[in-house]
Amino acid sequence: MTTRIFGSGIRRREDPRLITGGATYTDDVQLPGMLYAAILRSPHAHAKINSVDTSAAAAAPGVVAIYTGADTDGVLNPIPCAWVPPGADLVAVAHPSIAKDVARYQGDAVAVVVAEDRYQAEDALELINVDYSPLPAVTNPEAAMQPGAPQLHEDAPNNQAFHWVAEGGDTDVAFEAADVIVKDKIIQQRLIPNAMEPRSAVASWTRATGELTLWSTSQNPHICRFLASLVTGIGEHKIRVIATEVGGGFGSKIPMYADEMIASFCSMQLGLPVKWTATRSEGFLSTIHGRDHVEYVEMAATREGKITAIRTKIYAGMGAYLSTAGPGVPTILHGLIYSGAYDIGATKADVYGVFSNTTPVDAYRGAGRPEATFLVERLVDLLAVELGIDPVELRRKNLIPKFEDGHDVASGITYDSGDYEPLLNMVLGQADYQALRQEQTRLQESGHYMGIGVTCYAEICGLGPSQVAGAVGFGGGLWESAIVRFHPTGKVNVYSGISPHGQGEETTFAQIISDELGVDVDDVSIVHGDTSNTPMGWGTYGSRTTAVGAAAMVLAARKIKEKARLLAAHLLEAAEADVEYVDGHFTVKGSPDQTKSIQELATMANVAWNLPEGMEPGLEASAFYDPPNFVYPFGTHLAVVDVDADNGHIVIRRYIAGDDCGPQINPMIVEGQVHGGVVQGIGQALWEGAVYNDDGQLITGSMVDYALPRAHLLPNMEVLSTETPSPHNPLGVKGIGETGAIASTVTVYNAVIDALRPLGITSLEMPLTPEKVWRAIRQQQGS
């Protein structure tokens, strides 16, 4: 009988060290002779830098060195943008690590102080005298493209970073033939990611060998090494990036930042290790932001409610420079997934990437797919109202029917597998949807405003086939590799190029390998995050870690089993064909006593006293996995909200998340990912949003003004699932890290609008603060 640990909600093995202070994060690294860097950042959103006087700061106690843009210019290459969507006329503007002539956003680095301690460095920053000539600034992406707007880069007229159009089917024909067209303007407000651990870098240059060791808060240490090599000019073989313990990222730790390269530059100049760690306020300014779209969207349909086309025009803020993957987010990860869960004949995305005097924008949990899901689901709700059809029935009518091995959508991508309606029904059953609608009507009669939002989504993740990565302009591959190694005592290490940073994959990967090799889960340890002892991998983002990274591990484990079988046959003096494998044991058919465990075989392979002719010692294997397609998780989410017309307060009464990510390795961890994602998405709907003033100053520059979701403001979450395997990876798994954030923003938004519809309110800008709701209600009552 086979007992699988796959599917078991065992506790996360990384938690004891993570929650008791036992982990060594980058800021915990202490090296002999280490110095501390602090970065001076432009207080202006846009300013000419006339001069930087560092003389007073240089004389301050403990100061070892001060560098400006004049020092790094020509020594450090520009920070690269690594995702250049093809056919989009992308302008790859130069992004210096330290601004030399012009500061282009509040937070742009202008100088760095290196001192004997962090306090001295901070004190010296105040003594640097920069002569700025402030310039007009622009922060809104649509405004930045208007005539007369302040210009950021000479080589990017009208602040246009790129213009990307993707059309599948003929949207013009569909719109001309449409019985009904619904339209909206959507502001996908700018969000500020906040991982628990601020960004940090410890750079240690060894002059004698020409080697750089960089501890970095990175979701993808191998990419970090690759890009650090481009910026510093040091060969990749002489750079070691260590990111074994990273305290959350949500996408914000994918990019190569100037700060890490500044720390490296300082260490290389001084021949001593240099640490830089962002303060929380510094993080608000210098860590990438997310979203920031101004969108004009429309949907065409027949009178009967058959959706025929979606068309958009999008101004996507890129910030002052193009971040590592920034341009890929509003294009490839957004414009190709407009079909969502529906059968739609034609979709067109017309996307302008726009420079503005703001912090660069890049991937933030969901990255493009929350924005796409939002506009689709928003339009479906508008269409339902327009046609007088129940929004759930309209969705059901348009759902893609069950498919097991591929479904082509208009944009040109092919979904892997899906069976959407059972999950819709499950969620509606859990909610008792009909009863909720009746309650809504009843409450409305007594002046209470309750709303229901339902979202059906399908998303694209598990990035992805390398050939496609190349075709869509991603500057790297998207495969993964792994080494699985049996030690002499039968214990197993798995070395992976993927880089979990809090998600719990040390646990889930061990579960997978435990099953594959038939060894106890506690006999398996996962090694990740250090480029010096892990094979090449492209990192953890885009919900790809398990779908791609674990797939490589499984393939390596299967190779090991084949070798172990040969050795077992040799030691049991049986023909290979007569040796059966069950649960970690190789047994001669019909002779249950004639058996060897794989761990015994590991010992025999490692001592190598008696191997078959020609067999190499050891029991290990490596494998590369390049997925033939992305994976496409899907689901239905439902929110019930109550809105207090007196003060505009919104209370989420219920939230039901139904998600299908294929077979679940550890349901507890899946549930945790759903919780976290849903909460982040609700944060966008209700609380979060970067606000700049007219001068380009970030008003919401700290946790005092920028409201992250808090537990006491959230409902108990009801988590449901179905399991539809992906046909093309060895485990059948799909991503679950982003689905919550992809579905929940619009689910809550639509629920609030549903509640307010009787008052005549059809649209509001996020975040849906009580005041906005209250004003809208008052305006309607006044009119």
Partner 1 sequence: MFATKFDYQKASSVSEAIQLLASNPGAKIIAGGHSLLPMMKLRLTSILMLIDIGGIEEMRGISVANGILRIGALTTHAEIADSHDVKDNAGILWETAYGIGDPQVRNRGTIGGNISHADPASDLPTVLKVMDAKFTIQGTGGIMRGGSRTVSADDFFLGPFETALGENEILTTIEMPVLAANQHAEYAKMAHPATSFAVVGAGIVVTVENNICTAARVAVGGFTPIPTRGPSVEQALVGKELNEENIVAATSLIHNDLGSDVFGDVFASAEYRQAMAAIELKHAIYHATGFAHHN
Instruction: Give the binding range for partner 1 (CB under 8 A) out of 131-139, 381-389, 635-643, 684-692.
Output: 684-692
Q: Closest distance between partner 1 and the C-beta of residue 650, in Å?
A: 11
* Contact predicate 406/324, CB 8 Å: no
CA 148 to chain centre: 35
The one among 173, 425, 687, 759 contacting partner 1 by CB under 8 A:
687
Task: Tell me whether residue 460 or residue 685 sits nearer to partner 1 (CB atom).
Answer: 685
Number of residues engaging partner 1 in binding (CB under 8 A): 29
Instruction: Please report whether residue 443 would count as binding partner 1 according to CB under 8 A.
Output: no
Instruction: Please report whether residue 645 would count as binding partner 1 according to CB under 8 A.
Output: no
Instruction: Please report whether residue 725 would count as binding partner 1 according to CB under 8 A.
Output: no
CA distances from 400 to 145, 340, 404 (A): 38, 9, 12
Residues 127-166 that bind partner 1 (CB under 8 A): none
Closest by alpha carbon to 45, among 152, 161, 148?
152
Instruction: Please report whether residue 697 would count as binding partner 1 according to CB under 8 A.
Output: no
The one among 771, 779, 780, 781 contacting partner 1 by CB under 8 A:
771
Residues 647-676 that bind partner 1 (CB under 8 A): 647, 649
Q: Closest distance between partner 1 and the C-beta of residue 118, in Å?
A: 6
Q: Closest distance between partner 1 and the C-beta of residue 646, in Å?
A: 6
Token pair of 599 as six digits: 């761990």
Quick one: CA dihedral 336, 337, 343, 346, positive or negative? Answer: negative
The one among 127, 165, 691, 717 contacting partner 1 by CB under 8 A:
691
At 177, the amino acid letter reads A
Number of H helices, E strands in the chain: 21, 28
The DSSP element (H or E) to which 386 belongs, if any, is helix 369-387
Q: What is the DSSP string of 677-731?
A: HHHHHHHHHHT----B-TT--BSS-STTTS----GGGSPPEEEEE-----TTSTT
- x-or-dash string of contact with partner 1, 89-128, rule CB under 8 A: -----------------------------xx--xx-----
Q: Closest distance between partner 1 and the C-beta of residue 418, in Å?
A: 36
The three-state secondary structure class of 267 is helix
Instruction: Give the binding range for partner 1 (CB under 8 A) out of 275-283, 284-292, 366-374, 741-749.
Output: 275-283
Q: Which residue has the tokens 């505009």?
A: 648
- d(CA 582, CA 575) in angstroms, rounded, equals 17
Instruction: Please report whether residue 27 would count as binding partner 1 according to CB under 8 A.
Output: no
Q: Closest distance between partner 1 and the C-beta of residue 113, in Å?
A: 12
The one among 58, 713, 714, 764 contacting partner 1 by CB under 8 A:
713
Instruction: Please report whether residue 493 would count as binding partner 1 according to CB under 8 A.
Output: no
Instruction: Please report whether residue 587 would count as binding partner 1 according to CB under 8 A.
Output: no
Task: Tell me whether residue 439 or residue 718 sits nearer to partner 1 (CB atom).
Answer: 439
The three-state secondary structure class of 349 is strand
The three-state secondary structure class of 43 is coil
CA R_g for the chain: 27
Token pair of 446 as six digits: 């007594």
Instruction: Give the binding range for partner 1 (CB under 8 A) out of 42-50, 363-371, 600-608, 646-654.
Output: 646-654
Task: Tell me whether residue 118 or residue 653 sits nearer to partner 1 (CB atom).
Answer: 118
Task: Tell me whether residue 562 or residue 705 sits nearer to partner 1 (CB atom).
Answer: 705
Q: Closest distance between partner 1 and the C-beta of residue 354, in Å?
A: 23
The one among 8, 389, 700, 730 contacting partner 1 by CB under 8 A:
700
Q: What is the DSSP string of 200-218?
A: EEEEEEETTTTEEEEEE--
The one among 70, 471, 651, 708 contacting partner 1 by CB under 8 A:
708
The one among 3, 446, 610, 783 contacting partner 1 by CB under 8 A:
446
* Cα angle 38, 39, 42; round to 5: 150
The three-state secondary structure class of 497 is coil
Task: Tell me whether residue 624 or residue 687 sits nearer to partner 1 (CB atom).
Answer: 687
- d(CA 332, CA 557) in angstroms, rounded, equals 33
- d(CA 252, CA 324) in angstroms, rounded, equals 11
The one among 704, 716, 782, 783 contacting partner 1 by CB under 8 A:
704
Residue 19: other Cβ atoms inside 10 A: 10
Q: Which residue has the tokens 């506009």?
A: 375
- For residue 767, say if its preceding peptide bond is cis, omega within 30 degrees of 0: yes
- d(CA 240, CA 515) in angstroms, rounded, equals 32
Instruction: Please report whether residue 775 would count as binding partner 1 according to CB under 8 A.
Output: yes
Q: Is 444 exposed, middle or buried (0-12, 13-18, 19+ CB in 10 A)?
A: middle
Q: Which residue has the tokens 């290196």?
A: 114
The one among 35, 706, 741, 768 contacting partner 1 by CB under 8 A:
706
Q: Closest distance between partner 1 and the C-beta of residue 150, in Å?
A: 23
Instruction: Please report whether residue 703 would count as binding partner 1 according to CB under 8 A.
Output: yes
Instruction: Please report whether residue 442 would count as binding partner 1 according to CB under 8 A.
Output: no
- x-or-dash string of contact with partner 1, 279-298, rule CB under 8 A: xxx-----------------
Instruction: Give the binding range for partner 1 (CB under 8 A) out of 13-21, 70-78, 564-572, 763-771.
Output: 763-771
- d(CA 288, CA 195) in angstroms, rounded, equals 12
Instruction: Please report whether residue 59 would count as binding partner 1 according to CB under 8 A.
Output: no
Q: Report the interface residues with partner 1, using CB under 8 A.
A: 118-119, 122-123, 279-281, 446, 646-647, 649, 686-687, 691, 699-700, 703-708, 710, 713, 769-771, 774-775
